[in-house]
Chain A
Amino acid sequence: MDKGLSLRHVTISKGGAPLLSVHHDIGPGEVLTVMGPSGVGKSTLLAFITGTLAPDFQATGEVCLDGHDITHAPPHQRRVGILFQDDLLFPHLSVGANLAFGLQPGGTTTERKAKIAEALDEVGLSGFETRDPATLSGGQKARVALMRMLLSEPCGLLLDEPFSRLDAALRAQVRDMVFDRARARELPVLMVTHDAEDARAAGGVIVTLGD
């Protein structure tokens, strides 16, 4: 069983006109960066991998994650984590409850609380459990969103322009944090971006679409 995320002959088209084709293996802890101007279908590729492709697109090819073919699996059984440029924390839940939403079921309440406290601690947000996500700063929200995703124990990670809403100082900091965590957990990462600096910092293979 080969670990990692494999895109095999993936082609996405709309109304018969091909949008993009990708064929690539991303090993554990590696980053593949997909670049290209907006409108070229970068996010569509991610929607295909998460299983949320809009019905007006057609896709062929296979997606394999850790040796399992997930091309036709329902979105919630794919074990693919995703971060968007907006933090998309659930506004009706506290910070702690957002993390608990991500945390895999199992364990006693005390154990779950401990795991959440630990996760917050890891990103320097100790004691933030009861906070309203809307009262957090941009950097803090990004960190909560990252930990929420990691607590769901994904086997692969998708990043959709994840840092473009952050200002320059925060950007490098959050970016390093995301890539460090992904490497430490040996997750294959697929990032789409139009920012050359993000692509350089990722340090992996860069594919450019729409040429």
Chain B
Amino acid sequence: MLGPVVAGLWGTLLPAFGHLPAAGITGPSLDPFRDLFDWAGLPRAMVLSVSTGLIATAASLLIVMLITAGWSGTRPFRLLERLLSPLLSVPHAAAAFGLAFLIAPSGWLSRLVSPGLTGWDRPPDLLIVQDTWGLTMTAGLIVKEVPFLLLITLAALGQADARRSVAISQALGYGRLTGWLKTVFPRVYAQIRPPIYVVLAYSMSVVDVAVILGPNTPPPLSVQIVKWMSDPDLAMRLEGAAGALLQLLLVIGALVFWRLGEMAARVIGQRWIIAGRRGRFDAVTAQIALGFGTACALAVLLGVVVLTIWSFAGYWGFPDALPDQLTWRNWMRHGPGTMEALGETALIAGIVALAALILTIGCLEAEYRYGLHISQRGIWLLYLPLLIPQTAFLPGLQTLLLGIGADVGRGPVMAAHLVFVLPYVFLSLADPFRAWDARMGTIAAALRASPNGVLWRVRLPMLLRPILTALAVGLAVSVGQYLPTLLIGGGRVATLTTEAVALASGGDRRAIGVYGLMQTGAALVPFALALLVPALVWRNRRGLRHG
């Protein structure tokens, strides 16, 4: 999986130093960087990239840690856990549109309280969505990263023996939240570090959310890179490549900065532990954290609701809380277009997710049969494609593909999706696959089942639910991919995501509602099936109900 990443970086490096034979330009030269630094928007674009990434990551981490510390094992926490799968499967673009429709001056929230509370009978002139400082964009990232980090944290909690540690700290007089932070957090954090770095790298270089919620003048660096790369003038690619390289350096710098922050937090944390304070503000802190967590969940869920309403809306004047009439007209108008995009999306996602699943099962089964162990270093290798910003190597990959005359289109798009889908499928299936009781395999072999017989007749059926969940994760990741589809597809592969994001500048809320809802459905339905199918197939098998 490193091949395309390395090739892509190489393909970025050459044009960044003025070498692009396809456009008749040969280097090396520093002109692309000179052009880049001449761009007046650069300082703001860089600041936006860094501030969005750091704030989104820190805020979502803080929310998730405080919620888990204050509430794990309680009823509100279990409710949040149950909401996790649907929250996770809503694609970033759809969640961003939903958030925009909620909090814009003419959004649903403002409609609900107007004119009653505010006295507004027309939308106030406020720049909320696409604000200059990228705060809405940061919020859009936080609402999606919170469920992701919560999922990762839950997986790590299983191995941290959290319950007993908290019980002991409580017996020593610590508050629940303080006790958790002082005893469980260090262990959990050590395990969730790779995905946190992924969140940081992703938030700094995201394109689709930035196009929808981010500022325009100037846009964040990643969006500008894509603009340069899509310019008909091939020479602009040089500047784009230089920008991509700068983006990579920014991400590396931010990761180093984060690592330094970890070290500082370690020192401060140790002092805090030794000081022995029992936690006076636990209750308040926990309440605030739960409030933020609930807000994140509601932002995504209500966002989907408001997308749904817009997709059926007839005339919907400003202060009205609901449209005058509901109609099928929007769906009739955009139906054929969405069906075509849905077909493309499903074809790509289906093949990619299935390929990723087969590769994953093959790896894990080989690990089991030959007694191999994947080291911590191997785990980092798995995360590497997710740590390198997409904007840094996808443009290069595209340039390379064009350079060797390879046709851009569906096949290369699938290959590019696989790079991002495989790690998630692997991470989703690895734990349940390894947790399977190997004595079952011994028994089956003793009953004279061959290794393949054990796999097909015992292991895979027993693991049906995690396997389908991993497949659903793969589908959802592929459905949500924007940049690989856009760049590697050369603008000719139209999925629900590329179509939906393309609507962002037009502001046709009804069309966005239809496409956003279809996109959400394409990601959500597989998750529902992954729950439903095993429940039906194994309805008479109590031993598999929680497995």
Contact = CB atoms under 8 A, between A and B. Distances in A.
Given A54-B371, A91-B547, A132 B541 contact: yes
Given A54-B371, A82-B442, A92 B449 contact: no
B168 interface: no
A33 interface: no
A51 B448 CA distance: 12
A137 to B, nearest CB: 13
Contact of A132 (B461, B462, B543): B543
A139 interface: no
Nearest to A130: B540
A126 interface: no
Given A134-B541, A134-B543, A75 B443 contact: no
A51 B441 CA distance: 11
Contacts of B444: 90, 101
A44 interface: no
Given A101-B457, A152-B448, A133 B439 contact: no
Interface residues of B, number: 31
A92 B447 contact: no
Interface in B432-453: 437-451, 453
Interface of A is mostly: loop
B447 to A, nearest CB: 4
Interface in B441-474: 441-451, 453-454, 457-458, 461-462, 464
Most B C-beta atoms less than 10 A away, residue of A74, A75, A84, A148: A75
A47 B443 CA distance: 11
Most A C-beta atoms less than 10 A away, residue of B371, B447, B457, B543: B447
A28 interface: no
Interface of B is mostly: helix
A86 B439 contact: yes
A88 interface: yes
Contacts of B453: 76
Contact of B447 (A74, A91, A101, A133): A101
Given A76-B453, A154-B446, A132 B540 contact: yes
A52 B544 contact: no
Contact of A84 (B371, B443, B447, B461): B443
B449 A134 contact: no
B472 to A, nearest CB: 20
B365 to A, nearest CB: 15
Contacts of B438: 52
Nearest to B463: A92
A109 interface: no
B258 interface: no
A76 B445 CA distance: 4
Interface residues of A, number: 34
Contacts of A52: 438, 441-442, 445
A81 B446 contact: yes
Contacts of A47: 442
Contact of A82 (B443, B457, B540, B547): B443
Interface in B521-547: 538, 540-544, 547
Interface string A34-56: 00000000000001001110110
Contact of A135 (B441, B464, B542): B542
B445 A91 contact: no
Interface string A68-108: 00000011111111101010111110100000011010000
A51 B369 CA distance: 12
Contacts of A5: none
Nearest to A97: B457
Contact of B446 (A86, A135, A152): A152
A192 interface: no
A75 to B, nearest CB: 4
Contact of B542 (A51, A134, A149): A134
Interface string B351-390: 0000000000000000000110000000000000000000
B460 to A, nearest CB: 10
Contacts of A94: 540
A133 B543 contact: yes
A82 B440 contact: no
A90 B462 CA distance: 8
Given A55-B371, A88-B439, A149 B446 contact: yes
B442 A79 contact: no
Contact of B461 (A51, A81, A92, A154): A92
Nearest to A158: B446
A55 B461 CA distance: 27
Contacts of B447: 81, 101-102, 148-149, 152
Most A C-beta atoms less than 10 A away, residue of B370, B448, B450, B542: B448
B437 A91 contact: no
Nearest to B370: A55
Given A50-B442, A52-B441, A133-B543, A91 B448 contact: no
Contacts of A77: 448
Given A52-B442, A90-B462, A76 B449 contact: yes
Nearest to B461: A92
Contact of B449 (A91, A101, A149): A101
Nearest to B450: A76
Most B C-beta atoms less than 10 A away, residue of A47, A52, A90, A148: A90
Interface string A152-176: 1010000000000000000000000
Given A90-B440, A92-B538, 14 more contacts: A52-B438, A52-B441, A55-B370, A55-B371, A76-B450, A79-B448, A80-B446, A86-B439, A92-B462, A92-B544, A132-B540, A132-B542, A134-B541, A149-B447
The 3 closest A-B CB pairs, nearest first, are A91-B543, A55-B371, A134-B543
18 contacts: A50-B442, A51-B445, A52-B438, A52-B441, A54-B371, A76-B446, A76-B448, A79-B448, A81-B447, A84-B439, A86-B439, A90-B440, A90-B458, A91-B462, A91-B543, A132-B541, A152-B447, A154-B446
